[in-house]
């Protein structure tokens, strides 16, 4: 039985009025690609039902078919409540993999390409006159064998193997709708400036207008109001700055854990934004932000102006019954709690653009996140366009989360397999670095994590060697950047180390078979005690290094045929987690 996904899908952009469209939908495979010719968007075939937001490949969808079906269709009816009927009705999709055509009452409402990012469409003009029994139909195309689309760990063969897993096709995040006035908040963006004690707020109202509009901003901390501001607005885009430091009457600890955000002290400021026409409220949004700064100074990674050692765990974000979709909000929260229980202060979300609900819990619980793009497997000009287009939307969506401290658009030369020497692929990797900087100058960016960097703010190295080999390799900067893990150079031809902080962003991968699942890892042990001992050896080799500023252990959980997690696929500990914490707490 599928679990409900009823939590609000955008925790940093919450409106009170909304309708969750998750649940049972009609569903059909279209292997012969006949749906368009037969106008299924008008006359839908009654074949199957599916439980949204779970992909048909998952158990929780109610279908659980891992075979190739590159074209699928969805259908359900929607009715609009009476008090919404004088407003715009906007339909939202959290994520649909990979191309989606949305129809309302037989008419095309919108098209979207990209399996990792949200999209919305105003459907008001397509609704029935009485606003009831409207037919919502979705056609999805997901080319299973196309290696030039951003697919991350989704395999292009039917059976999972090696480091690749079962695919996700179609809806895999929440679908919902909400009513809006003509003037409403389109985007909200918070930029903390802790050195000034300010937070910058950018917002747009989604429209050009000639109305008498004002926007009220209220900010509170620990339930106490510290900002109340109301200003007239005369254009769609607006930017304001609020000093928070001078609002505190007790200023004895405002420079540290008193109000900064960190894993140890995940302080959050709550805010309410209201747009009015005269005294009439047109839109109101509940949001939050954290006051924290990420910087690199003299080759040191800094959090809130202090050197900070990152103890990360690689997190694929897969679940046995839901694949990329967590069965419940509690499951997302629990993964963070388990990682923190082991002494990790963050995660690298590997080859997955994570559900915003995960980022909410990371913000709330205090957990660093490296935001990573799901990569293509091969390079082409279309692949470059697809990756760049989606990545722009990823960074825009997640910009205001304090937990995200690093952006990582490319990993291990995926999709740029010749980047070591190919000028075009080097230009693509470098352009992804600069594109990210053009959207966000507040976070470090890696051009290509693992090896074959072009321009990167952090030198991230992937190395699965033994503890003794790691200890030897990372005694000096010179020895670190001259290593060739997986027979790859750390920097691509024509590029070189420029004093960046060095982190080992993948290592370990110790396999231990705890349950009936067979699988593999980069090395193997036969008992829980041996797992702890091998973890200790390889991690202490990094902790003792005079030049390494953090690590990312592979990995949090087993995933399908990979059994190199510290937890099983269903999140059962493979060893005494407190012993892992004691090792991590050495630094």
Range of the domain at 459: 294-584
Query: Are 127 and 204 in the same domain?
Result: no
Contacts of 140 (CB under 8 A, 6+ apart): 71, 72, 73, 74, 96, 97, 98, 99, 100, 101, 169, 170, 171
Query: Are 442 and 508 in the same domain?
Result: yes
**CA 112 remoteness from chain centre:** 19
**pLDDT band (50, 70, 90) for residue 2:** very low
Asked whether residue 5 is domain-assigned, the answer is no
Parallel, antiparallel, or unpaired for β 310-315 and 548-554? parallel
CATH number of residue 40's parent domain: 2.60.120.260
Considering its fold, how many domains does the chain have in total? 3
Q: What's the chain's Rg over C-alpha atoms?
A: 24
Q: Is the pLDDT of residue 191 over 90?
A: yes
- The tokens for 18 are 């909304």
How many angstroms separate the Cα of 308 from the Cα of each of 194, 314, 433? 16, 18, 23
Residues in the chain: 587
Query: Are 394 and 438 in the same domain?
Result: yes
* 551-566 residue pLDDT tens: 999 999 999 999 999 9
pLDDT averaged over every residue in the chain: 94
Query: Are 26 and 93 in the same domain?
Result: yes
Query: Are 395 and 320 in the same domain?
Result: yes
User: What pLDDT score was predicted for residue 1?
Assistant: 42
The candidate with the shortest Cα–Cα distance to 215, out of 270, 276, 278, 272, is: 276
Mean pLDDT of 499-518: 92
State the Cα–Cα distance between residues 584 and 577, nearest whole angstrom: 11
Query: Are 382 and 272 in the same domain?
Result: no
pTM for the full model? 0.96
Parallel, antiparallel, or unpaired for β 306-307 and 300-303? antiparallel
As to burial, measured by CB atoms within 10 angstroms (0-12 exposed, 13-18 middle, 19+ buried), residue 242 is: middle
Query: Are 225 and 369 in the same domain?
Result: no
Contact criterion met (CB below 8 Å) for 317 and 324: yes
How many angstroms separate the Cα of 529 from the Cα of each of 17, 340, 512, 513? 52, 20, 10, 13
Q: Of the residues 260, 289, 318, which one is the last residue of a structural domain?
A: 289
Query: Are 565 and 457 in the same domain?
Result: yes
Q: Of the residues 274, 289, 304, which one is the last residue of a structural domain?
A: 289
Residue with tokens 């990993």: 411
Q: Is the pLDDT of residue 252 over 60?
A: no
Asked whether residue 11 is domain-assigned, the answer is no
CATH number of residue 467's parent domain: 3.20.20.80
CB atoms within 10 A of CB 278: 10
Query: Are 166 and 197 in the same domain?
Result: no
Peptide bond into 490 cis (omega under 30): no
Query: Are 150 and 266 in the same domain?
Result: no
User: What pLDDT score was predicted for residue 7?
Assistant: 86
Query: Are 145 and 203 in the same domain?
Result: no
Work out whether the CA dihedral 303, 388, 448, 378 comes out positive or negative.
positive
């Amino acid at each position: 039985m599928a679990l409900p996904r009823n939590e609000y899908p955008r925790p940093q952009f919450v409106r009170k009025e909304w309708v969750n469209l998750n649940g049972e939908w009609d569903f059909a495979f279209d292997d012969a690609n006949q749906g368009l010719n037969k106008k299924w968007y008008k006359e839908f075939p009654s074949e199957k039902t599916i439980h949204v937001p779970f992909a048909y490949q998952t158990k929780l969808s109610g279908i659980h078919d891992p075979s190739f079906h590159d074209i699928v269709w969805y259908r359900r009816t929607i009715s609009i409540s009476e008090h919404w009927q004088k407003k715009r009705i906007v339909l939202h999709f959290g994520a649909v993999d990979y191309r989606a055509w949305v129809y309302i009452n037989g008419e095309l409402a919108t098209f979207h390409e990209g399996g990792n990012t949200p999209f919305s469409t105003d459907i008001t003009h397509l609704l029935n006159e009485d606003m009831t029994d409207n037919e919502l139909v979705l056609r999805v195309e997901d080319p299973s064998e196309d290696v030039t689309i951003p697919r991350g760990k989704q395999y292009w063969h039917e059976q999972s193997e090696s480091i690749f897993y079962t695919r996700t096709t179609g809806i895999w995040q929440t679908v919902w709708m909400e009513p809006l006035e003509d003037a409403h908040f389109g985007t909200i963006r918070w930029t903390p400036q802790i050195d000034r004690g300010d937070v910058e707020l950018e917002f747009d109202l989604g429209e050009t207008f000639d109305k008498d509009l004002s926007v009220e901003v209220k900010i509170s901390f620990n339930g106490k109001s510290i900002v109340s501001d109301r200003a007239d607005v005369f254009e769609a885009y607006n930017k304001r700055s609020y000093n928070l430091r001078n609002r505190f009457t007790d200023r004895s600890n405002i420079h540290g854990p008193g109000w900064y955000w960190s894993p140890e002290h995940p302080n959050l400021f709550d805010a309410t934004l209201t747009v009015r026409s005269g005294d009439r409220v047109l839109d109101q949004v509940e949001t939050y932000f954290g006051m924290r700064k990420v910087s690199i100074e003299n080759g040191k990674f800094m959090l809130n102006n202090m050197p900070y050692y990152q103890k990360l765990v690689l997190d694929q974000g897969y679940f046995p019954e839901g694949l990329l979709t967590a069965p419940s909000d509690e499951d997302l929260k629990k993964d963070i709690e388990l990682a923190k229980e082991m002494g990790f202060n963050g995660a690298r979300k590997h080859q997955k653009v994570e559900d915003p609900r995960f980022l909410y819990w990371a913000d709330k619980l205090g957990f660093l996140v490296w935001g990573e793009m799901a990569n293509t497997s091969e390079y082409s000009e279309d692949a470059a366009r697809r990756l760049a287009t989606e990545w722009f939307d990823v960074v825009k969506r997640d910009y205001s989360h304090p937990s995200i401290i690093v952006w990582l658009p490319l990993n291990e030369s995926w999709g740029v397999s010749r980047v070591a020497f190919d000028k075009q692929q080097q230009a693509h990797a470098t352009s992804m670095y600069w594109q990210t900087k053009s959207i966000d100058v507040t976070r470090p960016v890696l051009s290509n994590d693992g090896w074959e960097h072009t321009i990167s703010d952090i030198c991230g190295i992937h190395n699965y060697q033994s503890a003794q080999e790691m200890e030897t390799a990372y005694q000096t900067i010179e020895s670190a950047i001259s290593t060739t893990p997986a027979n790859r150079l750390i920097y691509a031809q024509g590029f070189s180390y420029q004093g960046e902080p060095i982190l080992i962003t993948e290592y370990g991968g110790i396999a231990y078979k705890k349950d009936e699942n067979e699988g593999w890892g980069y090395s193997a042990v036969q008992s829980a005690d041996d797992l702890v001992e091998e973890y200790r050896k390889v991690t202490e080799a990094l902790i003792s290094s005079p030049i390494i500023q953090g690590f990312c252990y592979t990995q949090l959980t087993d995933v399908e045929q990979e059994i190199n997690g510290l937890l099983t696929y269903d999140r059962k500990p493979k060893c005494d987690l407190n012993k892992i914490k004691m090792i991590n707490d050495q630094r």
